[in-house]
Amino acid sequence: MNAITRLAAVISFASLLPLSAVAADPGTVEVLHWWTSGGEAKAVETLKEQVKKDGFVWKDNAVAGGGGAAAMTVLKTRAISGNPPAAAQIKGPDIQEWGALGLLTELDDVSKANHWDALLPKQVADIMKYDGHYVAVPVNIHRVNWLWINPQVFEKAGAKVPTTLDELFAAADTLKAAGFTAFAHGGQPWQDSTVFEDLALSILGNKGYHAAFVELDEQALTGEKMVEVFKTLQRLGTYMDPNRAGRDWNIAAAEVISGKAGMQIMGDWAKSEWTAAGKVAGKDYLCVAFPGTQGSFTYNIDSLAMFKLKNENDIKAQNDLAKVALEPEFQTVFNQNKGSLPVRQDMDMSLFDACTQKSSVDFKDAEKGNGLQPSMAHNMATSLAVQGAIFDVVTNFLNDPKADPATAVKQLSSAIKSAK
């Protein structure tokens, strides 16, 4: 072989490389999420496994930080630099904002082929659509207004399971007197506002909650009842561990699981920690509606929004993820681990534990009246800007034991006005 033919052979071999490399490229789906606690990681593992089984590569982009604030910051940076992931955990009204930027892809083929309109409640489907097209796939329905109880701790202390706010404080007194932490809590803005939102629902009722956090109605935000919400939050704060600053929600959950604390006010992702610890619902732990919110259901729907991609194989991987997310097998195993309700309406609920079964019944009851309310603290009710304004006021208030509730209410309304 002379030099020329050798060179030609090398060139023709090299020209084959990109092709064979493409053929071998199985398609990658990068998923940005904040499911990093023990229980959450177990849940997301089921999605990873399924995508891998279908022959695609899962690129995990897990950004630690409950409630997702850190994940959203990472997502914005990636999007600004023109390099968004294939899928990201984006929820509620925020989906519309990303849609309006023109960055999300329409999932028409996969949604039509898999009959999403028939599978999903209309209220849920509407949130997932931008301009009439699905741009996100929902994976579950979390309920936020729960109270988690360690019944052994209650028994040792002689406390009674509360159904009203008065009973909640009575139980807290009894637990405190017996040397337990009444409420396990992590001092992070989203956790503070989860408690605030539950109290608001309990004190303002469905209509008042809706007026305040969905309509951002000035009267509802500044009324006497809102002052009462802040007063009650201040009182509740006195039963929390003063060293709670920065504590993650799953560490707080662990305090209830281990019997150091009696209660945690948290959405039902808290159940994922009990499940991961091998505990049984209704026996080792109790889930009750947050006192005074029986009949209501503050919902928090986790969804994966899909970004526009160029590579054909990656688009295939992205479509596979979207399809898998609503398949019955995934809906069952993921939600058993995650603590949430399946978002599909045709699932066999006997496969779920007592808490999720109760959640399912309560969801249907709440749906009949005006009890289904979007969670403000979990990105379902307002823009992230308004939510951030509420978080700031609530957290500053809770961190200052001498803060004045009437002043906080004024701050709340003016912070919301400037964030709108």
Which parts of this chain interact with ligand BGC (CB under 6 A)?
34, 40, 66-68, 142, 249, 269, 300, 302, 378
**Min. distance of Cβ 220 from ligand BGC in angstroms?**
24
Q: How far apart are CA 402 and CA 405, in angstroms?
A: 9
Q: Which H/E stretch holds residue 55?
A: none
For helices 328-338 and 38-53, angle between their N-to-C axes, nearest 10 degrees: 160
Q: Residue 376 in contact with residue 194, Cβ under 8 Å?
A: no
Q: How far apart are CA 101 and CA 395, in angstroms?
A: 31
For residue 90, give the 3-state DSSP assignment: coil
Can you list the alpha helix ranges (DSSP code H) found in 270-379?
270-276, 312-325, 328-338, 354-368
What number of helices (H) and strands (E) belong to the chain? 19, 15
Residue type, 107: L
Choose between 84 and 92: whose C-beta lies nearer to ligand BGC: 92
CA torsion 187-193-197-202 (nearest 10°) is 30
Choose between 88 and 165: whose C-beta lies nearer to ligand BGC: 88
Q: Residue 267 in contact with residue 37, Cβ under 8 Å?
A: no
**Min. distance of Cβ 383 from ligand BGC in angstroms?**
16
Residue type, 319: N
**Min. distance of Cβ 393 from ligand BGC in angstroms?**
19
Provide the pairing of β-strand 87-89 with 303-306: antiparallel
**Min. distance of Cβ 146 from ligand BGC in angstroms?**
13
Choose between 360 and 387: whose C-beta lies nearer to ligand BGC: 387
Choose between 336 and 411: whose C-beta lies nearer to ligand BGC: 336
**Min. distance of Cβ 133 from ligand BGC in angstroms?**
23
Report the candidate in 31, 42, 135, 37 with the shortest Cα–Cα distance to residue 74.
31
Residue type, 148: W
**Min. distance of Cβ 367 from ligand BGC in angstroms?**
20
**Min. distance of Cβ 379 from ligand BGC in angstroms?**
7
Choose between 66 and 208: whose C-beta lies nearer to ligand BGC: 66
Choose between 94 and 362: whose C-beta lies nearer to ligand BGC: 94
**Min. distance of Cβ 23 from ligand BGC in angstroms?**
37
Residue 94 burial (10 A CB sphere; 0-12, 13-18, 19+): buried
| The residue to which tokens 């403000």 are assigned | 376
**Min. distance of Cβ 195 from ligand BGC in angstroms?**
14
Phi first, then psi, for residue 299 (nearest 5°) are -100, 150
For helices 165-177 and 224-237, angle between their N-to-C axes, nearest 10 degrees: 20
Both structure tokens of 308: 């526009």
Choose between 86 and 90: whose C-beta lies nearer to ligand BGC: 90
Q: How far apart are CA 190 and CA 65, in angstroms?
A: 10
Choose between 44 and 159: whose C-beta lies nearer to ligand BGC: 44
Choose between 34 and 130: whose C-beta lies nearer to ligand BGC: 34
**Min. distance of Cβ 30 from ligand BGC in angstroms?**
18
Choose between 93 and 405: whose C-beta lies nearer to ligand BGC: 93
Residue type, 136: A
Q: How far apart are CA 176 and CA 182, in angstroms?
A: 6
